[in-house]
Amino acid sequence: MKALVILPTYNEVGNLGPLLEAILEQGEEFDVLVIDDGSPDGTGLLAEHYKSLYPQRIEVIHRQGKLGLATAYLAGFRYGLNRGYQFLFEMDADFSHSPHYLPKFLETMQRERADLVIGSRYAPGGGVVHWSWPRWALSRAGSWFAGRMLHLPVKDATGGFKCFRREVLEAIDLDEIRATGYGFQIEMTYRALEHGFRVVELPIVFEDRREGKSKMSAAIVVEALWLVTQLRLAEGTRLKREPKGERVRS
């Protein structure tokens, strides 16, 4: 049972080394793909150093400039599918997503017979630490808005710590994904449910980044909200899936 952890990076030189070590310590089943968007701080060079230390478990893709979170994950999905990985993770590179949850994702996959597991900040037992009240309120409002508009029966619609079974990514037409930024998280959950896959929320505690600056901005929020509106207008208010409550567990 092999799993690929996809790490998009931009200026994460202070976080990447300890994070890679922590991921590999979770078990031999976890490999890592670093996708660096031309970080000027040397993140890409550091990733290559770790690749030389762990050539069987770490791979690196270098891209020219900031091409966006969504395109990084899509490139990672295609890489993982082509190499036969059964489980593919989305994970932030700043330690806001703790590596110790990785085995719990796979355990939840097996126990719940899930196709997509979302690391949920807002399911019972989840939470956030070291956030300001405005940031917490913005996150909760974004999840609520996406859930209401798209009838998503999940508590954390914007969460970016995910594990996909490969069959989900094979069923979704990755070339048709519209999102370019953080709205990608909403759209991927939406598409999984649209195809009838089983989604489970795993409670996690989300911590603020250890090093560097957050990439969140007003433009990213606006892009995500506009994406939700477009999906609602294009797809209607109902997903092609079983009645809500039967496909998702927290």
- What is the per-residue pLDDT for 57? 98
Q: Is the distance from CB of 127 to CB of 205 less than 8 angstroms?
A: yes
Domain boundaries of the chain, sorted by first residue: 3-236
- Here the tokens at position 9 are 């990076």
- Separation CA 89–CA 73 (nearest Å): 9
- Separation CA 238–CA 161 (nearest Å): 25
- Kindly list the distances between the CA atom of residue 214 and the CA atoms of 41, 220, 221, in Å, as whole numbers in the listed order: 15, 12, 13
**β-sheet bridge partners, residue 30:** 3
Q: Find tokens 């993770």 and name the residue.
A: 89
- What is the per-residue pLDDT for 235? 61
- Here the tokens at position 49 are 């150093």
Instruction: For strands 30-36 and 87-90, give the pairing.
Output: unpaired
- What is the per-residue pLDDT for 249? 55
- Kindly list the distances between the CA atom of residue 235 and the CA atoms of 28, 178, 243, in Å, as whole numbers in the listed order: 41, 13, 17
- What is the per-residue pLDDT for 138? 75
Q: Residue 247, class by beta-carbon neighbours within 10 Å (0-12 exposed, 13-18 middle, 19+ buried)? A: buried
The third-level CATH classification (topology) of the domain covering 3-236 is: Spore Coat Polysaccharide Biosynthesis Protein SpsA; Chain A (3.90.550)
- Separation CA 23–CA 77 (nearest Å): 18
- Here the tokens at position 112 are 């719940």
- What is the per-residue pLDDT for 180? 80
10-residue mean pLDDT profile of the chain (250 residues): values are: 96 96 98 97 98 98 92 97 98 95 98 98 93 77 79 90 98 90 88 95 86 53 64 55 47
- What is the per-residue pLDDT for 238? 44
- Separation CA 165–CA 151 (nearest Å): 22
With H, G, I as helix, E, B as strand and everything else as coil, classify residue 165: strand
